[in-house]
Copies of this chain bind each other. A is one copy, B any other.
Amino acid sequence: MSDDHEQGVVLAPKFDAAGLITAVVTDAADGTVLMVAHMNAAALALTRSTGEAHFWSRSRGRLWKKGETSGNILRVVDMRIDCDQDAIWLQANAAGPACHTGERSCFYRRIDGDGLVRD
């Protein structure tokens, strides 16, 4: 967490030991957190060059364009990086539900007492 990382104007993402950085996607319209995923350098580069969110799927072990099969792409309107450059925030317009369950957001359950509530 150097000054260069925090104060600089050079994009220098700190990928973790697996080569990944955390990416948070919010809906550009209302700020709802739609999903949290991971990017490797290639996913980040493709997201920047195409304006559509790409990720690295840890479960499938491959690069993945969000919506490549469902059509529910995420069109990026703003992309930010945090102070120590180990997390990325995308604001996006979603073509459809962001969650593979069909929910609009992956965060469809609220933590309530000892359990979860859908609301």
Interface residues of A (CB under 8 A from B): 1, 6, 8-11, 22, 24, 26, 30-33, 35-36, 48, 59, 78-84, 87-89, 99-101, 103, 106-111, 114-118
The one of B84, B99, B110 in contact with A80, judged by C-beta atoms closer than 8 angstroms, is B110
Taking CB atoms, residues of chain B closer than 8 Å to A80 are 33, 107-111
The one of B30, B59, B87, B115 in contact with A9, judged by C-beta atoms closer than 8 angstroms, is B115
The one of B79, B84, B117 in contact with A111, judged by C-beta atoms closer than 8 angstroms, is B79
**What is the count of identical protomers in the complex?**
2
Taking CB atoms, residues of chain B closer than 8 Å to A6 are 101
Question: Nearest B residue to A47 by beta-carbon distance?
Answer: B111
Taking CB atoms, residues of chain B closer than 8 Å to A84 are 106
CB–CB B110/A78 < 8 A? yes
Known pairs A31-B32, A78-B110; A99 contacts B115 (CB<8 A): no
CB–CB B31/A81 < 8 A? no
Shortest Cβ gap from A39 to chain B (Å): 12
CB–CB A106/B82 < 8 A? yes
Question: Nearest B residue to A111 by beta-carbon distance?
Answer: B79
Shortest Cβ gap from A82 to chain B (Å): 4
